[in-house]
């Protein structure tokens, strides 16, 4: 091979130079893509670290000036009951012509609740009154007859003494007076009986109107217009025995069953606290009325009556309730001197930007609150007059990385 051919072999072709230049131009793009990926990974790591829930320990803020200074020595469950309630019915059998109540109505004593068909009783009343009037008229007639007979007897007695009439005529006149007096007495008795029958008819007529025996709230409406109502269950299922049920809401109390093994802890007039199942956050002051002196052999419990010291429309019969029997505790010596506020662990108060703050757990977030602790301290507790409410969960010894809005996770058993 000569020199010309060797030079031809060593010459770089145009297509080879283009391939070399293209490969070299791609390197800046590759490096840029790697930088972007690294930045995205860093941002994702920072976001993940920022959203990671910090484990914290919490303590509950306790009210220093709590109204209740009592501790529960026993708890029991029961139901709200009404000491005064009645299923209102008529005292006679009749057909309802009007029912004037609905469930939930407030009624007053003597208010008309329903009316029965009174046509027969009205006719009976009118008849009895007419008979009483007739009997009274006969009394007046006999009274007038007696007065006349007395005059006649006196005149004949005078004439008999003068010998102008026989003594027999005078004696007959006296006998007639006695007879008329007896008839008058009998008629007066009959008139009294007729008057009594009229009163009875009037009472029966008044029974056709059903009235409220006391003030209260209608809880059930048991009959409708056209139905037969009777104080007795005559007629089977076709006869109602009551118009409705009225409950005196002022007589509501609680009946609870206390295990007989712990009944010795309960005393009459003992303070208590009732919590309705429907309103678990509402504590109702109460006290023991009486311990019923009998036991339930099957449940080994004794019934205790508990009075509710506050009446409220939310309390209704047959509600489930939990009662805590309280034992009065000695009031702390500082209770009269300290201001109102809450007690929190001293370790919960930290410095942020030159201010005293605490972190309150709100859901899964920590909320920073600026506080001004009181000068007094109570052991390991500090008094916060404001900014924190009783029952709030505050973070104990918060980490420096904890800030307002940080996501937190309460460690089990540390609350």
Q: What digits encode the pLDDT tens for the residues 98-117?
A: 999 999 999 999 999 999 99
**SS3 call for 284:** strand
The whole-angstrom separation of Cα 341 and Cα 64 is: 6
Q: What is the DSSP letter of 249?
A: G
Residue 70 has pLDDT above 70, yes or no: no
Predicted pLDDT at 413: 44
Share of the chain above pLDDT 70, in %: 79
In terms of average pLDDT, the best of 31-40, 161-170, 202-211 is 202-211
Question: 46 or 316, which is more confident?
Answer: 316
Residue 40 has pLDDT above 70, yes or no: no
pLDDT grade for 7, boundaries at 50, 70 and 90: very low
Residue 9 has pLDDT above 90, yes or no: no
Strand partners, 301: 259, 296
Predicted pLDDT at 66: 44
Which of 315, 295, 307 lies closest to 270 in space, CA to CA? Answer: 307
The whole-angstrom separation of Cα 232 and Cα 93 is: 8
Predicted pLDDT at 333: 44
Contact 398, 414 (CB under 8 A): no
For the four alpha carbons of 240, 244, 245 and 246, in that order, the dihedral sign comes to negative
Question: 409 or 211, which is more confident?
Answer: 211
* End-to-end C-alpha distance for the chain, whole angstroms: 94
Average pLDDT over residues 287-315: 91
Residue 225 has pLDDT above 60, yes or no: yes
Residue 65 has pLDDT above 80, yes or no: no
The H or E element that residue 180 is part of is helix 167-206
Residue 38 has pLDDT above 80, yes or no: no
Residue 354 has pLDDT above 60, yes or no: yes
pLDDT grade for 375, boundaries at 50, 70 and 90: confident
In the block, residue with structure tokens 């990671």: 52
Predicted pLDDT at 115: 95
Q: How far is CA 191 from CA 85, 179, 194, 195, in A?
A: 42, 18, 5, 6
Predicted pLDDT at 29: 63
pLDDT grade for 55, boundaries at 50, 70 and 90: confident
Average pLDDT of the chain to the nearest whole number: 82
Predicted pLDDT at 135: 92
Residue 207 has pLDDT above 50, yes or no: yes
Average pLDDT over residues 301-324: 91
Which of 94, 103, 111, 102 lies closest to 226 in space, CA to CA? Answer: 94
Predicted pLDDT at 329: 47
Summarised one tens digit per residue, pLDDT across range 128-187 is 999 999 999 999 998 998 888 898 888 888 888 888 888 888 888 889 889 989 999 999
């Amino acid at each position: 091979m000569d020199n010309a051919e060797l030079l031809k072999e060593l010459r770089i072709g145009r297509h080879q130079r283009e391939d070399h230049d293209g490969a070299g131009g791609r390197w800046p793009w590759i490096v840029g893509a790697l930088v972007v990926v690294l930045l995205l990974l860093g941002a994702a790591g920072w976001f993940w670290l920022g959203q990671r829930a910090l484990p914290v320990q919490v303590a509950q803020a306790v009210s220093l000036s709590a109204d209740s200074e009592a501790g529960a020595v026993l708890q029991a469950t029961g139901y709200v009951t009404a000491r005064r309630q009645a299923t209102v019915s008529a005292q006679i059998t009749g057909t309802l012509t009007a029912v004037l109540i609905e469930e939930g109505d407030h009624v007053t004593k003597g208010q008309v609740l329903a009316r029965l068909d009174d046509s027969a009783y009205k006719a009976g009343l009118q008849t009895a009154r007419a008979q009483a009037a007739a009997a009274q008229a006969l009394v007046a007639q006999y009274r007038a007859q007696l007065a006349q007979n007395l005059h006649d007897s006196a005149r004949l007695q005078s004439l008999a003494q003068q010998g102008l009439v026989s003594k027999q005529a005078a004696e007959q006149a006296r006998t007639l007076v006695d007879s008329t007096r007896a008839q008058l007495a009998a008629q007066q008795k009959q008139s009294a009986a007729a008057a009594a029958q009229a009163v009875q008819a009037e009472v029966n007529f008044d029974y056709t109107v059903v009235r409220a025996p006391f003030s209260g709230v209608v809880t059930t409406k048991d009959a409708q217009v056209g139905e037969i109502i009777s104080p007795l269950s005559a007629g089977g299922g076709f006869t109602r025995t009551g118009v409705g049920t009225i409950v005196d809401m002022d007589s509501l109390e609680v009946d609870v069953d206390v295990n007989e093994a712990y009944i010795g802890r309960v005393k009459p007039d003992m303070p208590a606290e009732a919590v309705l199942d429907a309103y678990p956050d509402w504590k109702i002051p109460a006290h023991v009325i009486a311990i019923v002196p009998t036991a339930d052999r099957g449940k080994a419990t004794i019934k205790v009556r508990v009075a509710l010291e506050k009446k409220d429309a939310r309390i209704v019969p047959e509600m489930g309730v939990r009662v805590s029997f309280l034992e009065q505790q000695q009031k702390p010596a500082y209770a009269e001197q300290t201001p109102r506020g809450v007690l929190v662990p001293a370790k919960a108060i930290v410095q942020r930007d030159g201010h005293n703050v605490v972190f309150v757990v709100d859901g899964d977030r920590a909320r920073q609150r600026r506080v001004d602790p009181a000068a007094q301290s109570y052991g390991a507790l500090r008094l916060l007059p404001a900014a924190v409410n009783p029952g709030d969960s505050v973070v104990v010894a918060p980490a420096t990385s904890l800030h307002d809005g940080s996501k937190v996770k309460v460690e089990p058993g540390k609350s």
